[in-house]
Structure 1
Amino acid sequence: MAIEVERKFLVTADTWRAQVQQVSEMSQAYLNDQGRASVRVRIEDQQATLNIKQAVAGPARLEFEYPIPLGDARQLISRLGGGRIEKRRHRVPAGRLTWEIDEFLGANAGLIVAEIELPSPATPFDRPAWLGQDVTDDPRYYNHQLAQHPYTQWGTV
């Protein structure tokens, strides 16, 4: 069974930018908008994946990810994709771990979230000075929620 253990934080400063070692452009769409799992197609640079993830908030969730042909991913996004996310992912090394800092674009512009995948929920990690509030348990900050309820619309009813 594949379990993703991940912590998610808001970012409070830009000092992380000097430590970035890799940047990827990402586009993704969700093929289902409700239920017990999110099913998403993601294009990262020129690679595509199909991802199925348990739709619960918290640090540990079931996750399965499979590579798919880029042309198939483009068709799935354009023809079947519901909510969409555009973001730029920056990777910052943290010892044997890596921070993935997502700078959201489009309808989620202005939101920057840092994630770190851990081998287990008890794995210790350093908290850089640019790390803000822990939002691991706040479903609003999960990509499948941002696809349906964009950050730029949170202040509106």
Structure 2
Amino acid sequence: MEHENFGDFEFERRFFVSELPTDLTGAQRPSVMVQSYLLASDGYAVRVRAQATNPSRLPTPADGADEVLEMIADDVDFCGLTAKGPYVGGTRYEAERELDVSVGLEMVRRGSAKVAKLRYSVWLGEDGWVIDQFTGANAPLIIAEVERGGPVVDLTIPSFCTHELTEDPRFSNDRLSVNPYRAWVYRFHEELARSGGTFARSFGDNRHESR
């Protein structure tokens, strides 16, 4: 999405999804992307993404990032190089440049820290959402995010979102590339069982559909 009034800043909120909402995604063929991180430290990141909008094959949750990349290599129709800054209150600096696909693919291949995921896109009310289903070392993680041209406040949070991740740096893609979900999933689920799922109170008047 374009952010004409805010330059190279994105405004988003992110949520943990315990189960893919197939009533919204079941009829949709997801795009598949592999992201390689040249830098991932303290919220700063330099990322190269290879994306297949209409892949001929879909990976399974067990497929690692390198396997997924080779699976979609012939279908990749977009590569981009992106510089990111740390999240601050649901806002993050992001500057992206599109790359030649052949160059971008080779850069992703050569990167050491990678994540792979399937991405579904849905409209709910006036908001566009993406739902990312990760594979390999980050399976079975599913994250939903909503992005706007300004701060994401007064949001209707769909029922498939069970816990807010916006202010939890562990769930940024750059952090997942070096500290994958599989390494700490049990600890997170213990936290979730204790809290019952929580939502940030610093983003205006929000409503959760199931509450």
**What CA distance in whole angstroms lies between the structure 2 residues aligned with 1:155 and 1:94?**
29
Q: Are the aligned partners of 1:32 and 1:82 in contact in 2 as well (CA < 8 Å)?
A: no
* Superposition deviation, residue 64 in structure 1: 0.8
Which of 18, 41, 47 matches 1:12?
A: 18
* Superposition deviation, residue 82 in structure 1: 2.6
Question: Of Structure 1 and Structure 2, which has the larger fraction of its residues in helix?
Answer: 2
**What CA distance in whole angstroms lies between the structure 2 residues aligned with 1:22 and 1:2?**
30
> Which ranges of structure 2 fall in alignment gaps of 5 or more residues?
1-6, 53-76, 187-211
Deviations 1:125-148 (A, max 9, x none): 321111111110000000000000
Root-mean-square deviation over aligned CA pairs? 1.8
Which of 41, 44, 61 matches 1:34?
A: 41
Choose 1 or 2 for highest CA Rg: 2
> Which ranges of structure 1 fall in alignment gaps of 5 or more residues?
none
SS in 2 for 1:55: coil
Which of 61, 65, 84 matches 1:53?
A: 84
* Superposition deviation, residue 155 in structure 1: 5.4
Q: Are the aligned partners of 2:127 and 2:146 in contact in 1 as well (CA < 8 Å)?
A: yes
Question: Of Structure 1 and Structure 2, which has the larger fraction of its residues in strand?
Answer: 1
The share of aligned pairs that are identical, in percent, is 33
- Is 1:127 the counterpart of 2:182 in the alignment? no
* 1:24/1:155 CA distance change after superposition, 3 Å: closer
- Is 1:103 the counterpart of 2:110 in the alignment? no
Deviations 1:21-44 (A, max 9, x none): 551101010011325621100011
* 1:57/1:103 CA distance change after superposition, 3 Å: farther
Deviations 1:70-100 (A, max 9, x none): 1111111122x13100100111112332111
Q: Which runs of 4+ in 1 moved over 3 A?
A: none
TM-score by length of 1: 0.89
